[in-house]
Amino acid sequence: MKTIKELNNKLDELKSESNKIEAELQRSWNLVFEDLHAIRAGILALDTSNKYVFSGHGDIIAIADFDTDAFKDCQEYFTQYMSDIHFVEVDFSNGVISTMVGPSFVINDDGDVYDQENDRLFVSMDEYVGDDGVADIDKRDNMIESYMESEGFYPGVFETDRSGNVKLVNTKK
């Protein structure tokens, strides 16, 4: 009769072997994925996307439509490949891929500008609204550009509203 220790040792050996097999399968799938035009096209679509949303963690992510149907049979391996190699998340239920755009400057619905990287508000709407109550967007954009210069940090600038809509803003004119 085998002891508990012997059985646990055997279980550990089997888990180790299983992990090696899974890693080899992932490497094999990665070689297949690397040659697929659809993946390259999807990454390009994501890189040039103008669709942005907030993630559940408050990060801004870019999204692009992607035909996930061709990868349903290898979903686990494809998801791992996209995450490990391209830093892209795959959403099979919505047929999209997404990636974080990194720390950004966010202009909130009140017009204040927030630096996510340094976790601080650096432009208040009061600073660029005239006595007539009209916002001077060029002044705001110049303030954002000056801040970027002073910080040596040039992230994306996004405008958001209370509904969660996110739009890229061009502050260079």
For the residues of 76-118, what is the DSSP string, one character each?
HHHHHHHHHHH--EEETTTTEEEEE--S-EEE-TTS-EEETTT
User: What is the per-residue pLDDT for 16?
Assistant: 81
According to the model, what pLDDT value does residue 62 have?
96
Q: What pLDDT does 1 receive?
A: 65
Per-residue confidence (pLDDT) for residue 9, from 0 to 100? 81
pLDDT string in tens for the chain (173-residue length): 678 788 788 778 878 888 888 888 888 887 888 878 999 999 999 999 999 998 878 789 999 999 999 899 999 999 999 999 999 999 999 999 999 998 899 999 999 999 998 899 999 999 999 989 999 999 999 999 999 999 998 999 999 988 888 999 999 87
Alpha-carbon gap, residue 169 to 110, rounded angstroms: 16
49-54 long-range contacts, CB within 8 A, separation 24+: 50/168, 52/101, 52/158, 52/166, 52/167, 52/168, 53/98, 53/164, 53/166, 54/160, 54/164, 54/166
The pLDDT score that the predictor gives to residue 164 is: 82
Per-residue tokens: 62: 């870019």
Rounded Cα distance between 51 and 93, Å, is 18
